[in-house]
Amino acid sequence: MAEKIYHNGGCVVAMRGKDCVAIATDHRFGVLSQTLSTDFKKVYTVAPRLLLGLVGLQSDILTVLDRITLRKNLYEMENHEVSAKSFTSLLSTFLYEHRFGPYYVEPVIAGLNSHTLEPFLCTMDLYGCPTKVDDFVAAGSCACQLMGMGETLWRPNLQPDQLFEVIAQTILNAFDRDALCGWGATVYVVEFDKITKRTLKTRKD
């Protein structure tokens, strides 16, 4: 694909459960068809109950992560711990500042609102247009496959254990149909008192 955003491959999916959210990432890092490394996770911890998944051009993933971390730290110095909604706005305005020379990333934000502990899910396009949803979001070179699997398996009010199974099967079966994603997967389940990180056993190709 000539698209810059699929130059390095990768995928992230996030789902909402009952008082919890889960976000999953693959591990592949490559350049077009060549795989260079199998330990590049695309999900980062932003706040104690807030995770950010970034897919797209790896160079821009690193740049956006650095720049948005700076903005978040400045925000937290002046105010309090950043909430999911505020972080989404921060990221959205940051990406739109580069409307005519954008960063080739698709962010996925998953977390619990710091005060109400309400689950929060949001995805954005590369210009920063946010889409807040109540079910699940997917981004990456196999986004279509992820949406299809999610639509089939997801249902509302899943408990954390069930949510883990659903999101694991979603990402596993979706990225098995994409050459640019895979080589392992990690799932983070965010509940009010803990984040559980599990590594999945997957096909290593």
8-state DSSP, 172: H
Contact criterion met (CB below 8 Å) for 128 and 138: no
Phi, psi of 123 (to 5 degrees): -125, 160
Binding to another protein by residue 205, rule CB under 8 A?
no
The single residue among 6, 40, 120, 175 that binds another protein, judged by CB under 8 A, is 40
The single residue among 5, 6, 8, 17 that binds another protein, judged by CB under 8 A, is 8
The single residue among 37, 93, 152, 157 that binds another protein, judged by CB under 8 A, is 37
Range in contact with another protein (rule: CB under 8 A) among 17-25, 53-61, 70-78, 189-197: 53-61
Binding to another protein by residue 196, rule CB under 8 A?
no
The single residue among 31, 32, 74, 144 that binds another protein, judged by CB under 8 A, is 31
CB of 32 to another protein, least distance (A): 11
Helices (H), the chain: 58-78, 84-96, 143-153, 160-175
Whose Cβ is closer to another protein: residue 25's or residue 170's? 25
Sign for the CA dihedral angle at 104, 40, 25, 27 comes to positive
Range in contact with another protein (rule: CB under 8 A) among 34-42, 44-52, 106-114, 166-174: 34-42
Binding to another protein by residue 62, rule CB under 8 A?
yes
CA dihedral 128, 130, 131, 134 (to 10 degrees): 130
What strand order describes the sheet that includes 119-124?
Answer: 43-47, 50-56, 105-112, 119-124, 130-133
Residues 118-157, one symbol each (x = binds another protein by CB under 8 A, - = not), give ----------------------------------------
Taking Cα atoms as reference points, which of 19, 33, 6 lies closest to residue 143? 6
> What Å distances lie between residue 74 and 34, 55, 82, CA to CA?
38, 24, 10
Q: What are the residues binding another protein (CB under 8 A)?
A: 7-8, 29, 31, 34, 36-37, 40, 57-59, 62-63, 66, 101
